[in-house]
């Protein structure tokens, strides 16, 4: 273990020990701190004057949703519209390597900044709010294709579950987690939190989002999908386990699952993108088998 990793390990365990202590003496404070650490990204924001180069020559639009606002970036093309949904501690610029492949189709491409990322508002990220952002963008732009990476892919899956009758008819899900419980279990293990903290987090999610942690499952959601799906996951992904992608694909009847090797979590690869383009634009690609 390197020095930096060692320091991070000690820091995480120290924070976890502090939260465990709070869970007995000040449980409300313990849940506030643990939830904040879980839901507040530390990177991924940028000021308007610090816009990444890839986003500078785009049309932009700011949407207002309740007390929130979120940003979209548009590369104009033909009537076919593709919505891009990035993941945790990232922003719309993460699609820099993907764009040239999609632009060959001539499509109009729209990328969104997640809650508390890029130029969108807020300190907290959560999938239900992200799904609401996605739906506002879908209602406005009427894309037929949606592509999501990592937790953005999970948000796309949840959005499709909540809003099955939209303009979207094809989905591409890259390196996405299926189960919220897996994320929570990993988080608890990382901080060495006690069993009481899991119960407190469970209560937090029920009160905040009206669902149990175990109920949030892409595998369950996808069982109700009629849209065509392309799910890809890398065997060497160290951020989201390979099995998570297989879970999502397992119940998605009109889908195909692509296993990649050596790409890691980012999944930027010319060969993979060629398969995505074939799925999206080749004749006869509407009917798939899982």
Q: What is the pLDDT along the chain (290 residues), one digit of tens a residue?
A: 453 454 455 477 789 999 999 999 999 999 999 999 999 999 888 877 789 999 999 999 999 999 999 999 999 999 999 999 999 999 999 999 999 999 999 999 999 999 999 999 999 999 999 999 999 999 999 999 999 999 999 999 999 999 999 999 999 999 999 999 999 999 999 999 999 999 999 999 999 999 999 999 999 999 999 999 999 999 999 999 999 999 999 999 999 999 999 999 999 999 999 999 999 998 665 544 33
Segments making up each domain of the chain, as ranges: 1-39+180-216, 49-179+217-281
pLDDT of residue 161: 98
pLDDT of residue 282: 86
The DSSP result for the chain, as a single string, is --HHHHHHHHHHHHHHHHHHHHHHH-HHHHHHHHHHHHH--SS-B--GGG--HHHHTSEEEEEEETTEEEEEEEE--SS-EEEEE--TT--GGGGTTTHHHHHTTT-EEEEEPPTTSBT---S---HHHHHHHHHHHHHHH--SEEEEETHHHHHHHHHHHH--SSS--EEEEES---BHHHHHHHHHHHHT--HHHHHHHHHHHHHHHSS-GGG-BHHHHHTT--SEEEEEEETT-SSS-HHHHHHHHHT-TTEEEEEESS-TTT---HHHHHHHHHHHHSTTTTS---
pLDDT of residue 48: 73
pLDDT of residue 75: 98
The burial class, CB within 10 Å (0-12 / 13-18 / 19+), for 247 is buried
pTM of the model as a whole: 0.92
Question: Residue 257 CA to chain centroid, in angstroms?
Answer: 18
- What architecture does CATH give domain 49-179+217-281? 3-Layer(aba) Sandwich (3.40)
> In the Cβ-directed half-sphere of 81, how many Cα atoms lie within 13 Å?
17
> How far apart are alpha carbons 55 and 122 in whole angstroms?
21
Q: Helix crossing, 180-191 with 27-39: angle to 10°?
A: 110
Which residues are CB-neighbours of 274 under 8 A, at least 6 positions away?
Answer: 101
> How far apart are alpha carbons 35 and 285 in whole angstroms?
42
Q: Cβ atoms within 10 A of the Cβ of 20, count? A: 17
């Amino acid at each position: 273990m390197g020095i930096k990793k060692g320091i991070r390990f000690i820091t995480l365990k120290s924070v976890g020990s502090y939260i465990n202590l709070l869970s007995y003496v000040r449980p409300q404070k313990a849940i506030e701190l643990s939830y904040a650490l879980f839901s507040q990204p530390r990177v991924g924001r940028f000021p308007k004057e610090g816009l990444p180069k890839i986003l500078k020559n785009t049309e932009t639009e700011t949407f207002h949703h309740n007390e929130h606002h979120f940003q979209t970036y548009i590369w104009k093309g033909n009537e076919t519209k593709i919505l891009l949904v990035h993941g945790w501690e990232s922003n719309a610029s993460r699609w820099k390597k993907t764009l040239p492949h999609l632009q060959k189709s001539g499509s109009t491409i729209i990328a969104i900044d997640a809650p508390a990322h890029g130029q969108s508002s807020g300190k907290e990220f959560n999938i239900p709010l992200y799904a609401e952002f996605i739906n506002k963008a879908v209602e406005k732009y009427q894309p037929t294709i949606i592509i999501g990476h990592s937790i953005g892919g999970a948000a796309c899956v949840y959005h499709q579950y909540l809003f099955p009758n939209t303009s979207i008819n094809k989905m591409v899900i890259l390196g996405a987690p299926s189960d919220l419980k897996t994320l929570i279990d990993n988080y608890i293990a990382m901080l060495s939190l006690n069993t009481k903290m899991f119960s407190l987090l469970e209560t937090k999610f029920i009160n905040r989002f009206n669902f149990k942690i175990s109920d949030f499952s892409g595998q369950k959601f996808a069982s109700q999908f009629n849209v065509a799906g392309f799910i890809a996951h890398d065997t060497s992904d160290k951020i989201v386990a390979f099995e998570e992608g297989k879970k999502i694909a397992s119940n998605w009847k009109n889908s195909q699952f692509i296993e990649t090797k050596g790409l890691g979590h980012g999944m930027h690869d010319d060969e993979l993108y060629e398969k995505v383009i074939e799925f999206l634009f080749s004749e006869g690609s509407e009917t798939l088998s899982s």
